[in-house]
Amino acid sequence: MKKIVILLFAFGVLITACQDDDAEVVITVPQEVCDSLDILYTNDVAPILADAGCSGSYCHGSGAGGVTLSDYYNTKTAAESPKFLKAIKHESGASSMPKGGNKLSDQQIETIECWVKSGSRE
C-alpha cells in the first residue's frame, strides 16, 4: 500500500512538472478596447521595445536568448509564442523582460497585448 501511495505521488509530481507553460497566456484587455486603439508595430510597439532596451544590439536586437526583436518580422514571429507575453508580464514560464530591468508599465503591456490580440500589424 505504501508503495502505491508513493508511486501515485511521484506520478502526480511528474504530470504537474511536465505541463505546457506555453499553453496559458491571459490577455486582459477586451477586444473592443484593442480594436479602438489601432496599434501598429512601427508607431507603438517598436518604441516601447527600444526604450526598454529589448531591441538594442546588446539584447534581443542581436538575437540574445534565441529571440530577435530588431525588426517587425522577427518581433511578430517572437510574439506568436506565448512566452513573449509571459516575459513582458513577468509571469512564470518565461524569463522576465526586460532582463534585469524594471517591468514595463501596465499601459505599455496593454499596448503590446492589444498589438498581439489584433493581429500584430506593422
In this prediction, residue 32 carries a pLDDT of: 84
In this prediction, residue 41 carries a pLDDT of: 94
Q: Which of 24-33, 47-56, 58-67, 104-113 has the highest mean pLDDT?
A: 104-113
Lowest mean pLDDT among 31-35, 98-102, 104-108, 118-122: 98-102
- 54-71 burial, b at 16+ Cβ within 10 Å, e below that, comes to bbbeebbbeeeeebbbbe
Helix H, strand E, coil C: the string for 57-95 is CCCHHHCHHHCCCCCHHHHHHHHCCHHHHHHHHCCCCCC
In this prediction, residue 109 carries a pLDDT of: 92
In this prediction, residue 55 carries a pLDDT of: 62
The ranges assigned to domains in the chain are 21-117
In this prediction, residue 69 carries a pLDDT of: 82
